[in-house]
Amino acid sequence: MKSYLPTKFIIERDREQCISCQVCINQCTCQAHYFDSQDNEVYARPEKCVSCHRCVVFCPTGALRVRRNTSEYRDNYNWRPEIVDDITKQAESGGVLLTGMGNDKPYKIYWDHLLLNASQVTNPSIDPLREPMELATYLGQKPDSVQVGPDNTLAKNLPPQLKLDVPVMFSAMSYGAVSLNVQHSLARAAAESGTYWNTGEGGLHHSLYDYAESTIVQVASGRFGVFADYLNAGAAVEIKIGQGAKPGIGGHLPGEKVSADVSLTRMIPEGTDAISPAPHHDIYSIEDLAQLIWALKEATNYTRPISVKIAAVHNASAIASGMVRAGADIVVIDGLRGSTGAAPKVIRDSVGIPIELALASVDSRLRQEGIRNRASLVIAGGIRNSSDVAKAIALGADAVYIGTAALVALGCHVCQQCHTGKCSWGICTTDPGYTRRINPEIGARRLNNLLRGWSLEIKDMLGGLGVNALESLRGNRLHLRGVSLTDSELEILGVRMAGR
Amino acid sequence: MESKVSENIRINAANIAHKELNSMVKQAVMRGVKRIELFNVHGQRYIGTDIFEPVEITIEGTPGNDLGAFMNGQRLLVYGNAQDGSGNTMNGGEIIIHGHAGDITGLAVRGGQILVRDDVGYRAGIHMKEYKEKKPVFIVGGTAQDFAGEYMAGGVMVLLGLNLEPGSKHNSRYIGTGMHGGIIYIRGDFEDYQLGKEVGVAELDEADIKQLSGLVNIYTGHFGGDATSILNGKFKKLYPRSLRPYGRLYAY
């Protein structure tokens, strides 16, 4: 069938600068460049280009530009090009449209409507260059009260806690969705920066057991690679109920991505589909969730915090209350912008609620019920920079997960082709020819640099607020003001309008 | 002189919560006890979880949900009925239930054996899987409720139908819905509509008969009965029609 889809991008090659070295051909995973031996020239197949910029970055003479194709549809606010293209794709394939990364639609980003305070005159700001600033964060259940013994130590042991030197962890990204080199980069950076990375639901490769103390192991509905050693390997166990990119649905890792090594870690035969059902079939209620939480506590002999992750959905606050009462030590909420290696486009773009609103309502609800101390609150989904982190903490989060930001640090250019398995940056692929493009040592250095940069910025923001510990900002919504928000939005966020 | 650890211990489970009971079991295992008998068991969960020695635990009474969850090579003998989720995500070992078992028995089992003398509840054997030498076996003497073997990705499930009245059919509908691996041997009658649409039906070949004969002998070894007469019954093999049941779901 002839495809009616228009070419999305144009590849411009400056002939004066091109030296026909063919680096672009070797770097492109979509065959968008080719060499014509008769002309002795490199040409483009622009219809294949996904605008990942791999060739642009690696062209040694800077001869390449990728631009949007300028041939425009007639203006129509209703029948926009994306909508016309989607219908065309479905007419030509008859299937569910898949996509990667997070929701790219212009829903309001509340972080951009929240502003932090700073001290002026009436209380002094603190200079983080000469004053110590405390970012240490402990995740886990906190008791209602503590008793201190005569020797100034705790009379009763605290429930198990995770200690973070920086309140930013790496989101669950499974082996299979991302490459082993990506996981090595994340694990090494987590260990070196004093934070945690998360296995996702694909099991833990044996080469990563060295980083166990910085690892959160995940248990999802497919139960891939879950067994006693795995559960006890991690510093915490996370039950994945849902994911911001695809609330309410399961996952299918297609058989062609289940290589020998992926099959070893997932503990399923090579080449078979890895199917994660939409629900855990042992969890149809809060009581059932409690059963799995306590099964995992029993399986780890009550030495690990148990985290439960849900997607931010309409009733997230009531559900979160149930999760805490079910025994979750850490509650994770993944918002509308949460990313994925593959999800139906219609789900990614239309299901869930913005994380800022979900966070504010969950934190408020747990406080109202007097159970906020019984679990830590971690959010995920679209955290882009240190000010998003600081605002999330002021809204009530204990820490955040970053996924896309971490991958961008590794090279991702957010071309949203994760589901194709042809990631030119070697991130979201298991093809050994491409996965080599990530060097775990360099990857870890890039991630450490990012976390260091964000930590310094967070310390600057704290100093400006006149506080010297992240704990003083946590849940302190008086440090936030809103701009361009409605009364309802301000009410849900628990934030005053700027100027008030 | 070395202090001798008693090989056997009996624990009265009356009026103690699961955490305490399991802690007593774990401590006994750490002392080197090899056989543990629990009596007056009344609904305590997670018995057999988080044990790393090849011990045998006998359970008199009714163990609670998630019996042997994440279990790793132990042997659990239940003299009574089991509740929901026995063998949840079990990696190895044996669970032998002299009675019936509840819903989601054998959920996501990846190794070892689960034997139930009588019936099982809904969604039994859901998402069983196998990898290389790890090939779980799940034998049910009676019948199952709906969704037996749903999403099955590996291993062997046997429904013997021993307690079906003559002329009556298996209870389960949607058998093997979403099945993409493994085998179900089923003895006794069922209608086509009781099967999931991903399931194929075949007669047993020689290899099947050999495998099944071994499994039925394991069953009769524990629960009695005549293996030959059971094997003379009418068996069918249910298999996944595709290893990629959802391969044509997506646009690209």
- Residues belonging to chain A with any Cβ–Cβ distance to chain B shorter than 8 Å: 89-90, 92-98, 222-223, 226-228, 231, 252, 254-255, 263-264, 267-269, 271-273, 275, 277, 281-282, 291-292, 294-295, 298-302, 420
Domain with CATH 3.20.20.70 in chain A: 137-497
Q: Where in chain A is the domain with CATH 3.30.70.20?
A: 9-95
Residue A273: pLDDT band (50, 70, 90) is confident
- Which residue of B19, B52, B70, B72 to mutate against A (max A Cβ within 10 Å)? B70
- Which one of B107, B181, B252 has the shortest CB-CB distance to A282? B107
Q: Which residues of B touch A255 (CB under 8 A)?
A: 243-244, 247
pLDDT digits (tens, 9 = 90+) for A427-445: 999 899 999 999 999 999 9
Query: CA angle, corner A415, sides to A409 and A420, nearest 5?
Result: 110
Q: Residue B40: its pLDDT value, please?
A: 98
Out of A268, A271, A282, name the one closest to residue B104 (CB).
Answer: A282
Which of A221, A245, A241 shows the shortest CA–CA distance to A341?
A: A245
Q: How far is A332 from chain B (nearest CA, A)?
A: 23
Phi, psi at A257, each rounded to 5°? -90, -10
Q: What is the pLDDT of residues B204-220, one digit of tens each?
A: 999 999 999 999 999 99
pLDDT beyond 60 at B2: no
Report the residue of chain A nearest B52, measured CA to CA: A228
Mean pLDDT on A345-366: 98
Q: How confident is the model at residue B7 (pLDDT cuts 50, 70, 90)?
A: confident
Mean pLDDT of A110-118: 98
Q: Is residue B42's pLDDT more than 70?
A: yes
- The CA distances from residue A189 to A177, A186, A207, A356, B103, in Å, are 19, 5, 15, 27, 43
Give the number of C-alpha atoms closer than 13 A to the C-alpha of residue B87, restricted to the C-beta side: 40
Q: Which domains does chain B have, with CATH numbers?
A: 8-240 (2.160.20.60)
**Percentage of the residues of chain B whose pLDDT score is greater than 90:** 92
Q: Which residues are CB-contacts of B63 (< 8 A; sequence separation ≥ 6)? A: B41, B43, B44, B45, B47, B76, B78, B80, B82, B83, B86
Residue ranges in A280-344 assigned as alpha helix (H): 286-299, 316-326
Q: Does pLDDT of A270 surpass 80?
A: yes
Residues sharing a CB contact under 8 Å with residue A395, sequence separation 6 or more, in sequence order:
A114, A356, A359, A360, A363, A475, A477, A480, A493, A494, A495
Name the minimum distance, in Å, from the CA of A227 to any CA of chain B: 6
Of A224, A220, A207, nearest in space to A249 by CA? A220
Could you say which of B66, B123, B245 has the minimum Cβ distance to residue A291? Answer: B66
Average pLDDT over residues A373-380: 98
DSSP one-letter string for B204-215: --HHHHHHHHHH
Nearest CA in chain B to A223: B108
Angle, helices A316-326/A286-299, rounded to nearest 10 degrees: 40
Split at pLDDT 50, 70, 90, the class of A156 is confident
- Phi, then psi, of A101 in degrees rounded to 5: 65, -160
pLDDT digits (tens, 9 = 90+) for A398-426: 999 999 999 999 999 999 999 998 999 99
Q: How many CB pairs under 8 A join A and B?
A: 133
Question: Which pLDDT score, from 0 to 100, does residue B1 have?
Answer: 44
CATH architecture of A137-497: Alpha-Beta Barrel (3.20)
Burial, A369: exposed, middle or buried (Cβ in 10 Å; 0-12, 13-18, 19+)?
middle
Task: Please answer yes or no on whether B250 and A298 come within 8 Å at the CB atom.
Answer: no
Task: Kindly report the number of other CB atoms within 10 A of residue B160's CB atom.
Answer: 26
Residue type at A414 in one-letter notation:
V
Provide the CATH number for the domain formed by A9-95 in this structure.
3.30.70.20
Q: pLDDT for A46-74, tens place per residue?
A: 999 999 999 999 999 999 999 999 777 88
Q: How far apart are CA B67 and CA A411, in angstroms?
A: 46
pLDDT, mean of residues A386-408: 98
Cα distance from N-terminal residue to C-terminal residue, chain B = 72
Measured between beta carbons, which residues in chain B are less than 8 angstroms from residue A293? none
Which of A217, A237, A282, A287 is best to mutate for the B interface (most B CBs within 10 A)? A282
Digit-coded pLDDT (tens) for A280-289: 999 999 999 9
Average pLDDT of chain A? 95
- Say yes or no to pLDDT of B3 above 90: no
Average pLDDT of the residues in B154-168: 95
pLDDT at residue B5, rounded to an integer = 65
Label residue A266 by pLDDT band (50, 70, 90).
Answer: confident
Please tell me the distance from the alpha carbon of residue B67 to that of residue A306, in angstroms, as a whole number.
20
Instruction: Tell me the pLDDT band of A487, cut-offs 50, 70 and 90.
Output: very high
Mean per-residue pLDDT, B236-245: 89
Pairing of strands A343-344, A98-99: antiparallel
Mean pLDDT on B75-95: 97
pLDDT at position A246 is 96
Burial class (CB in 10 A: 0-12, 13-18, 19+), B134: middle
H or E element in which residue A349 lies: helix A345-350
> CB-CB: which of B45, B85, B181 is closest to A282?
B85
